[in-house]
Each structure stands twice: as structure tokens, then as C-alpha cells.
Amino acid sequence: MSRPSAAFFDLDKTIIARSSTLAFSRPFQAGGLITRRAMLRSAYAQFVYAVGGADHDQMEKMRQFMSQLCAGWDVATVREIVADTLHNVVDPLVYAEAVSLIDEHKREGRDVVIVSTSGSEVVEPIGAMLGADRVVATRLKIVDGKYSGEIEYYAYAEEKANAIRRLAEEMGYDLDESFAYSDSVTDVHMLEAVGHPYAVNPDKQLRRTAVERGWPVLVFNRPVALRSRASLPQGPTLAALAVGGAFAVGGYVWANARKRPHSG
């Protein structure tokens, strides 16, 4: 009897078109969690993230700012804001190609797992909205119902691959028959962990790695509202999405990465 397989997806710039956590800047400001000045700072961070031009020093400064920002936030308030605004914030950002690909994997009997450096308070509701079977995400330490500003579990770089291997052991996944998708070179370890790695809208370094290793490269560029998911036309198949014929070429995050160019 064959073992089950899975499809592992990074979130930011792979399933959705921008940083999942940064997308909630305005609702968090409206809910009284952050000031207008902080919202503008996060908007700047989103711009830097979108163009992919942040160097390590810029990202470290933004990480420190955002890490300090979330300390003391009420956990229940954050979850309520995310739940109340999820569709309005995320719906227009989800790639139609990713939705079709998720559906394709589910039809073929694979579990769909989102593996993201973004915080679990944001990633888990998005995963539920997308119909993911499981979610791996960064978790912040909670003390007396508030975020302490410390990281309890950090789903970044090699840890994503470690998490995938632990899940494979727990669920019996055959990783040689499993798939992984990401946009960032920081997720190379995650892509290496499976038999079918795909670079999605890759940054320059990941694109170079994909070319060197013969990994397929997919281009997603059609955001769609999930409310219309049931009426979506059948998306292109995995083979049709691959670029290059025979060569065929996953915000601020809650207390973001130490050396993270951009990955979600």
C-alpha cells in the first residue's frame, strides 16, 4: 500500500500577493492596537517587502520595530480583528493559480499544508479559509493573555524543513512523492525536503538556484476573491503553469526574521 503524500505551501507571495501580516495593518490600527504612525511604518515595510529590495540592516531595523510593537497586544483582540476582517483583507490578495493548485492537490488525495514564518494568529485563519489540512507558523509567547514580544516557535529557513520532516514522520507522508512551493531563497531547505520542489514568483537568488537545479518555476499573477472560489473556472494544471517546457522552470511577521530577505 502506497504512503500518503502532501503539498507544502509557503504563504506570502506564494499563495497571497503580499505579506499576510502587513495586510492587517489598517484593521489593527482601526482596532486601536497600533498608531497611525506605526501603520505608516508598516506600510513602508510592505513597500520594501513588495519590491524585494530590503538589505539585512533595513530588515533588522524593521524586525526590531515590529517586535517591540506587538509586545503587550491582547491576544483575544488580535484574533477577533483577524476573524472580523479576514475576507475583506485577504480575499483580493489570493492568487487564483494557487487556489487552483491547492484544489488539484486535494483532488489527487494529498494533504495541503501551509508552512509560513508569519504568526499563527494570521496564518491559521487563512489556512482554514483556503481549506488547508494543516498549518505550520511562527508562535509568539503569550503571558496572561498578552504577547510578551518573545518568540515561542520560529518557523523560518531550516526550521521549515525540520517541521516538514516531523509532520512526515507523524502522518506517514512520503516526502519523495510530496510537493513544496515557495518564492524565497530562505526556503531552499524546505524545497529540498521533498521530491517535487517548485519556485513560485521567485526572488533572484531562488530563481538562480532553480535554474541550477532544474526546479520548475511557476508564475502566479491573478489575485482573486475566495468568495467566488466556487465559480472559478478550472485553473491551469501544474504542468501548464510550469515555465520553460522541458526545463520548466511561502511582514511584517510577528517578531520577524533575523536574516530574512522576505519569506512567508
User: DSSP secondary-structure letter at 34?
Assistant: S
114-144 pLDDT tens trace: 999 888 888 898 899 899 999 999 888 889 9
Residue by residue, DSSP assigns 61-109 as HHHHHHHHHHTT-BHHHHHHHHHHHHHHHHGGGBBHHHHHHHHHHHHTT
Alpha-helix runs per DSSP H in 91-237: 96-107, 120-130, 158-171, 188-192, 204-213
Type of residue numbered 163: A
- Write out pLDDT tens, residues 178-218: 999 999 898 999 999 999 999 999 999 999 999 999 999 99
Q: What is the pLDDT of residue 68?
A: 62
Q: Are 27 and 81 in contact (CB under 8 A)?
A: yes
User: How many domains does the chain fold into?
Assistant: 1
Alpha-carbon span 117 to 159, nearest angstrom: 10
* pLDDT higher than threshold 80 for residue 46: no
231: pLDDT strictly greater than 50: no
- More confident of the two residues 22 and 92: 92
pLDDT at 61 over 60: no
Domain-embedded: residue 92: yes
Residue 254: inside a domain, yes or no? no
Query: Does a structural domain hold residue 248?
Result: no
Residue 203: inside a domain: yes
CATH of the domain at 51: 3.40.50.1000
Active site (catalytic) residues:
10, 12
The per-residue pLDDT for 117 is 83
Q: What is the pLDDT of residue 76?
A: 87
pTM for the whole structure: 0.76
Q: Is the Cβ–Cβ distance between 207 and 187 less than 8 Å? A: no
- Grid cell, residue 73, equals 497586544
HSE-CB for 220 with a 13 A CA cutoff:
31
CB 89 within 8 A of CB 27: yes
Q: How far does Cα 218 stand from its chain's mean position? A: 16
Domain that holds residue 95: 6-241
Q: What is the pLDDT at residue 32?
A: 61
Residue with cell 537568488: 205
Write out pLDDT tens, residues 139-180: 888 899 998 877 788 888 899 999 999 999 999 999 999 999
Question: What integer pLDDT is reported at residue 257 of this predicted model?
Answer: 36
pLDDT of residue 145: 93
**Identity of the amino acid at 2:** S
Q: Report d(CA 185, CA 42) in Å as an integer.
A: 23
